Amino acid sequence: MDVKEQEFSRMVREHKSTIYTVCYMFSNDADEVSDLFQETLINLWKGFESFRNESKLSTWIYRVAMNTCISADRKKRRQGSKVPLSMNINLYDDEDHETRQVRQLHERIQRLDLIDRALVMMWLEGMSYEEIADVVGISVKNVGVKLIRIKEKLKQK
């Protein structure tokens, strides 16, 4: 394994929960989460060399994961042979208390449309409005407005 690959593997290990969280919130099926997770890793690898620390690593990872999930949402089909690269966790079927809590969050977020899901996830993550604006490519003011609307939507449902 060369230096670049070692760095990449370390980055994936450190941020695997961020990547998996985004994939989980954009899907309703464990196999699909696994596919999205793998697709995100491929896209991270493709962009890894050109990442120049202009933004925070976590912000960049969020952006790649969200773009991958939003793109995949319309396609909803499997492409070519895939190797399982996911994690040995089942957040859809397990019935322990913690998993039920996580599923409740999943259900709430799933009611929102794609961009709103992305915004609320970053807000829950505790990211600043500047960072959220950087990931999505909209103004900081627009982030604030959208988040207020999302909170209203969540209250209504």
Partner 1 sequence: MEEMNFDEMREQFTLLRHKLDQQDIINDSLLRETMRGRVGAINRTKYKSYICAAFSLALYPLLLYWGVFSNAFVIATCIMMLFCAYGTYYVHKPVDRMNLMTEDLATVAKVMAKFRKQYNQWLYYVTHALLIPWLSWAVYEYAWKNAPEGMNHWLMALPLLIGAAIGGLIGYIWHCKAVNAADNIIRQIEENN
Rounded Cα–Cα distance for residues 76 and 68 (Å): 12
CB 38 within 8 A of CB 14: no
Rounded Cα–Cα distance for residues 108 and 45 (Å): 31
Rounded Cα–Cα distance for residues 142 and 146 (Å): 6
Check binding of 141 to partner 1 (CB under 8 A): no
Minimal CA–CA distance to 15: which of 62, 78, 82, 51? 62
Q: Which of 51, 58, 129, 153 binds partner 1 (CB under 8 A)?
A: 51
Q: Which of 71, 78, 130, 149 binds partner 1 (CB under 8 A)?
A: 71
Q: Which of 67, 92, 129, 153 binds partner 1 (CB under 8 A)?
A: 67
Binding site for partner 1 (CB under 8 A): 1, 5, 9, 12-13, 16-18, 20-21, 24, 38, 41-43, 45-47, 50-51, 60, 63-64, 67-68, 70-71, 74, 82-89, 91, 98-99, 101-102, 104-105, 108, 113-115, 121, 124-125, 134-138, 151, 154-155
